[in-house]
Amino acid sequence: MQLHRFYLSPAHSSGDILRLEGQEARHALRVLRLKPGDEAIVLDGDGHELLCEIENTSRDSLLLRVKKRAFAAPLPCPVTLLVAIPKGKIIESIIQKSVELGARGIVPLLSERVVTRLDSDSAAQKREQWRQVAIEAMKQCGAPRLPEIETPADVGHALSRKEKPELQLVGSLQKGRRHPRDIFREYEKANGHSPRSAAVWIGPEGDFTSDELRAIQNGGAHPISLGRLVLRVETAAIYCLSMLNYEFNS
């Protein structure tokens, strides 16, 4: 029988006795009805998986004793997804699939053709909401790492991020795009190794504007083709993450 998984941040999962509180405890006690003696898995989102036994429970919390610790090494090429926010709740599905595919970071983009508009307060609330989506996805699939969900940003702010991946790609519908495999082989030939970090930009319906695409390319991204068909945002994101994982992390 598969054990239930819970999330505790690294700061709260370093000892031999752990405490589950809040939403995680309520789910364990009232939905799963776990009791002393039952075992569970705790993930810290930073590569550690802890096999625990429930020692005792109270109305709103559980104490767990760590029986075994395991650690999953980081992927050889962590991948960041920078994706334009689609309509409705599709972004939540993108986040879920990104966790399953091992994305290390997700940057929701408010590009010019994105319908959604957010002020600073709404952006912060959305970030926290999407982080919870990522936590639930991590627990569901057993991913060892929780991707960093960044605050929604326009293309200019996203380009000013301190993180500079060794290889950047951007899905494009415009002229000058190339097959990703050609770019991978050129990179490896020029550098003597596969990239140790990567990022992929996915635009909204209708693609990035010409000015946005030019700025992204000036920032070091190579425009790539995703095939003959025009893919939806969520399909393009999954396609690119799967491709990068196959090439560099399999």
Q: What is the distance between the alpha carbons of residues 219 and 160, in angstroms, rounded to a whole number?
A: 9
Between 3.90.1150.10, 2.40.30.40, 3.40.50.300, 3.40.1280.10, what CATH number should domain 79-248 receive? 3.40.1280.10
Q: Which of 90, 45, 35, 78 is nearest to 236 (CA)?
A: 90
For the chain, the residue count is 250
**84, 90 contact by CB (below 8 A):** no
Look-up of token digits 């992204």: 216
Q: Which two tokens stand for residue 89?
A: 């709740």
The CATH class that applies to domain 5-71 reads mainly beta
pLDDT values of the chain reduced to their tens digit, one per residue, 250 residues: 689 999 999 999 999 999 999 999 999 999 999 999 999 999 999 999 999 999 999 999 999 999 999 999 999 999 999 999 999 899 999 999 999 999 999 999 999 999 888 888 898 999 999 999 999 999 999 999 999 999 999 999 999 998 899 999 999 988 889 999 999 999 999 999 999 999 999 999 889 999 999 999 999 999 999 998 999 999 999 999 999 999 999 8
> Cβ(109)–Cβ(237) under 8 Å?
no
Output helix, strand, coil percentages for the chain, rounded to the nearest 5. 35, 25, 40
The pTM of the full predicted model, rounded to 2 decimals, is 0.94
* Those residues with Cβ within 8 angstroms of residue 37's Cβ, 6 or more apart along the chain or in another chain: 53, 54
| C-beta separation of 41 from 51 below 8 A | yes
At 65 the pLDDT is 98
Q: Which residues contact 67 (CB under 8 A, 6 or more apart)?
A: 39, 51, 52, 53
Checking phi first, is residue 13 left (phi over 0); if not, alpha (psi -120 to 50) or beta? alpha
Cβ–Cβ < 8 Å for 27, 61: no
CA distance 39 to 163: 39
Strands 167-171 and 198-202: parallel
Which sequence spans correspond to the domains of the chain? 5-71, 79-248
The pLDDT score that the predictor gives to residue 115 is 87
Contacts of 176 (CB under 8 A, 6+ apart): 223
Q: How many whole angstroms separate alpha carbon 29 and alpha carbon 31? A: 6
